[in-house]
Amino acid sequence: MKNIMWLVTNMLRNMLLRNKRTLVLVIGLPIAGVLMSVLIYGNAGGTSVNIGVVNHDSTDITKDTVQFLKGLHKTNVKMLTDKEVDHEITSKKVDAVITFEKGFSDSVKANKPDHITITSIKGAEVTSFIKSYLYQYIDNISSLNQAAEGDDAAFKQMYENYQKAPFHVSTHALEDKGTDQNIVKQTIGYLIMFMLFSAVNLSALITKEKEQRTYFRLLASPVSARQYVISNVITNMILLTLQVMITLVCITTLFHVDMNIPVWQLFFILVLFGLVAIGLSLVIIAFTESSKAANGLQTLIITPTCLLSGCFFPPEFMPDVMQKIADFLPQTWVLSTLKSVQQGADLSSLWLNISILLAFALVFFLLSIYKLNRNNTVQKFI
C-alpha cells in the first residue's frame, strides 16, 4: 500500500506540476466545454420584435389595432411616415413595417380585411409572427360585424363592449428550463469526450515509460507491475473526478445554470462513467505497442462513438440503424441516464442503466488484465 501511495503521489506531481498538457486536459477543457454550450444555447430564449406602423386610416378600429400591437409581449411598436419606411427597414431599426391604408376599417367591417401591407426584409421568420396575432385580432372584429348583421348601431355597441370587456386576461412568464437542460446535456456530452481522451492520455504513461525504460527500472525496485497499474488507475480516477468537479462548479456557480438534477446524482453518474473511461483506456494501451499507436487508436474509437451516442447532437437526428448501434456504447447510457433523471426519474429506479455502465467497466478491465498478462515479454522501443 505504501508503494502505491508513493507512486500515486509521484504521478500526480509529474502530471499537474510538470506537464502543462495535462493541466489543459484536466482543467481547461471542461471550462471550454461549458462555455461552448452556454454560447450555443444561451440565446435560445428569443429577442423582441421591432415593428414600424404607418397609419393612413385614422379610425377607431385602426387606432385600436395599433394599440393591440403595442400590447403584444416582446413587441416594440414605432409610428412612422412613408418617407421613413425605407430607411428604418434597411438600417434594421425595425424588423417589419405594417401599413394601414385608407379603407382598412371599412374592409374589416365588411368581413373582407384588406388595405393592409406588411413589409420586411427578414422574411417569414418575422411576418409569420406578426400575422399570427394581427390576423386573429382582425378576424375577431370582423366576426362582431357579421354578428351585428349590418346594423351599425349594434356593431358599435358590441365593439365598445369588446374593447371594454369586464374580464381580463393576465399573463405570467414561465421559466423556460429547456435552455438550461440543453446546456447541461451539451456540456456533459463534451465532458464525456474529454474524460475519454484524458483517461487514454493518462494511461498512455505506462507505454511511454516502457519506451523510456523507466517502467523496467521501477520493476527492479520493490514496486510490482500490479502495483504500478493500480497506481495509474487511482491517479487516473483522481484526475477524472477533478474534471467532473470543475465542470459541475462551472455549471452551477460560474454560469448559474439550473441542471434540474441533484448535483450529487450527476456527480455519481459521471464518476461511474470515469471507471468506464479508465477501463477503455487500459484496453487501448493493452492492444497497442507504442504511444503513437495508442494516440491513433483512441481517435479512431473515441470520436466516432461520441458522435453516434449523441454527445454533440441529439441521436434522433441519425438513422434508425445508427441509433441501434449507439445502444451498444457506454456514452449512450450515460446520456440516457441523465435525460431520465432530468425528466423526474429517481436514480434508484435506473438500476438497469447503472448496471450496464458497471458491466462496461468490468468487461473493459477484465479484457485489459487478460491482454496485459499475456504481454509479459520485455520489448525494446525504438
Mean of all residue pLDDT scores within the chain: 81
DSSP state of 78: E
- 171 in a domain, yes or no? no
The pLDDT assigned to 219 comes to 67
The pLDDT assigned to 358 comes to 95
Task: State how far the Cα of 176 lies from the Cα of 376, in Å rounded to an integer.
Answer: 57
Last residue of a domain, one of 132, 164, 196: 164
User: Does residue 120 sit in the same domain as residue 15?
Assistant: no
Half-sphere exposure of residue 74, counting CA atoms within 13 Å on the CB side? 11
SS3 289: coil
**Across 13-27, 31-45, 248-262, which has the greatest mean pLDDT?**
248-262
C-alpha cell at 379: 520489448
Last residue of a domain, one of 129, 164, 199: 164
- 144 in a domain, yes or no? yes
User: Does residue 247 sit in the same domain as residue 272?
Assistant: yes
User: Does residue 28 sit in the same domain as residue 88?
Assistant: no
- 169 in a domain, yes or no? no
What residue numbers bound the domain in which 68 lies?
Answer: 49-164
User: Comparing 61-75, 108-122, 144-158, which segment has the lowest mean pLDDT?
Assistant: 144-158
User: Does residue 187 sit in the same domain as residue 331?
Assistant: yes
User: Does residue 12 sit in the same domain as residue 53?
Assistant: no
User: Comparing 14-18, 79-83, 203-207, 343-347, which segment has the lowest mean pLDDT?
Assistant: 14-18
Closest CA to 241 of 20, 26, 16: 26
User: Does residue 271 sit in the same domain as residue 328?
Assistant: yes
For residue 99, what are the β-bridge partners?
54, 117
pLDDT one-digit tens code per residue, 293-351: 888 888 899 999 999 998 888 787 788 888 899 999 999 999 999 888 888 888 888 89
Flag whether pLDDT at 380 surpasses 50: no
- 192 in a domain, yes or no? yes
User: Does residue 184 sit in the same domain as residue 304?
Assistant: yes
Share of the chain above pLDDT 90, in %: 14
User: Does residue 154 sit in the same domain as residue 198?
Assistant: no
Number of domains in the chain: 2
pLDDT one-digit tens code per residue, 243-282: 899 888 888 887 777 777 888 899 999 999 999 999 999 9
User: Does residue 83 sit in the same domain as residue 197?
Assistant: no
User: Does residue 114 sit in the same domain as residue 160?
Assistant: yes
Task: State how far the Cα of 120 lies from the Cα of 206, in Å rounded to an integer.
Answer: 63
- 174 in a domain, yes or no? no
Flag whether pLDDT at 121 surpasses 80: no
Flag whether pLDDT at 379 surpasses 60: no
CATH number at 152 reads: 3.40.1710.10
Task: State how far the Cα of 255 lies from the Cα of 64, in Å rounded to an integer.
Answer: 43
Cα dihedral: 58, 61, 65, 67 (round 10): 70
User: Does residue 62 sit in the same domain as residue 30?
Assistant: no
Closest CA to 61 of 116, 104, 112: 104
- 269 in a domain, yes or no? yes
The pLDDT assigned to 276 comes to 94
The pLDDT assigned to 174 comes to 52
The pLDDT assigned to 111 comes to 76
Please, are residues 334 and 357 in contact by the beta-carbon 8 Å criterion? yes
Task: State how far the Cα of 240 lies from the Cα of 292, in Å rounded to an integer.
Answer: 22
Last residue of a domain, one of 164, 198, 220: 164
- 380 in a domain, yes or no? no
C-alpha cell at 113: 380585411
The pLDDT assigned to 382 comes to 38
Share of the chain above pLDDT 70, in %: 88
User: Does residue 334 sit in the same domain as residue 191?
Assistant: yes
- 172 in a domain, yes or no? no
